[in-house]
Chain A
Amino acid sequence: MKDLVRLHTSLTEEIEAALNDQCKMEAEASLKYLAMAAWLDRNGFDYSAGYLYAQAEEEREHFLKIFKYITEVGGVAITPTPNEVQQEFGSLRDVFETALQGEIAVTHSINRIVAKCRELNDYATEEFMMWYVREQREEEHNARRVMELFELIDANSSTGRFVLDEEISKVGRRVS
């Protein structure tokens, strides 16, 4: 009797579900960044708005990368239905604190998938997910660097906010 399941896909049901959940999380992250960028835009923070518009695009690429991987290995990629995202924020700092919290949540989720891959001996997906592990290290680093800027520059003055707006947009682009 043939092993039809293995002929059809190398993914276990658990990993397929976890990857589809991650797709949804990445798609939601993209929409959250979009909402943040729009808030920044309408409050005069042009540079950091541009920075988060780019982040939104990047998150969408992350979503598509997983989505295509699921199909590539014979699984069923489910188009996610994102939940409602936060549209209003209290301040510039509030926006980037929310962004950092979001990145930390994504990192935890990716770590859980890698752990699950090891448990189920799915080395191909583990190897695929290592790209995300590296990416999250960079994303968290950038988000923390933005929070550091709030310690260095006074966000309570209009000049400070103007400088912060410019400096935030340069995060991740500096040559170290």
Chain B
Amino acid sequence: MTNQAINSNELYRVPKGCSWQCDLTNRVYIQFQETVAAFRLRDFFAFHRKVSAIDIHEMIYNLSDDFDFEIIEAPQQGVSLQLGLCELVQLRDLLDGTKFALKLNSMLHEALGTVSLV
């Protein structure tokens, strides 16, 4: 676990990485394998959409070498990853979980009004 993850608000964790929210910069951090990237929320949602749109079934069933890896890029965050099927599933899981945690936090804020959540 990185120091940032300990000191900030951890959102989600998978075996290959974790995510957390920084309240000072209003950024969502994604740490996956050796890569750490800070996303503005809008960019995070766009990145999530991009990763969700990858056709996993095509990667499984297409025997061509072209479908063994997928290149994932987020140029503004300096992210460029070449991921195999299992890694991609892990990343997707991390992003889905992060999105869920962000939405849950928002719902709690709405439901509890001005109560400060720790």
Query: Which residues 72-118 of B have a CB within 8 angstroms of A?
Result: 102-103, 105-106, 109-110, 117-118
Complex CA–CA separation, A2 to B105 (angstroms) = 8
Query: Which residues 137-173 of A have a CB within 8 angstroms of B?
Result: none
A1 and chain B: residue at smallest CB distance? B9
Interface residues of B (CB under 8 A from A): 9, 21, 23, 26, 28, 40-42, 45-46, 102-103, 105-106, 109-110, 117-118
Instruction: Mark A1-17 against chain B: 1 for CB-CB distance below 8 A, else 0.
Output: 11111111000010000
Interface residues of A (CB under 8 A from B): 1-8, 13, 74, 76
Q: Is the CB of B105 within 8 A of A3?
A: yes
Q: Which residues of B contact A74 (CB under 8 A)?
A: 42
Question: How far is the CB of B53 from the nearest CB of chain A, in Å?
Answer: 12
Q: Which residues of B contact A6 (CB under 8 A)?
A: 106, 109-110
A121 and chain B: residue at smallest CB distance? B110
Q: Which residues of B contact A7 (CB under 8 A)?
A: 26, 41
Q: Which residues of B contact A13 (CB under 8 A)?
A: 103
Q: Which of A2, A5, A76 contacts B103 (CB 8 A)?
A: A5
Complex CA–CA separation, A6 to B103 (angstroms) = 9
Complex CA–CA separation, A63 to B18 (angstroms) = 39
Question: How far is the CB of A74 from the nearest CB of chain B, in Å?
Answer: 8
Q: Which residues of B contact A4 (CB under 8 A)?
A: 21, 26, 28, 41, 102, 105-106
Contacts A1-B21, A3-B109 aside, 19 further interface pairs with beta carbons under 8 A come to A1-B105, A2-B21, A2-B26, A3-B105, A3-B106, A4-B21, A4-B28, A4-B41, A4-B105, A5-B41, A5-B103, A6-B106, A6-B109, A7-B26, A8-B40, A8-B42, A74-B42, A76-B45, A76-B46
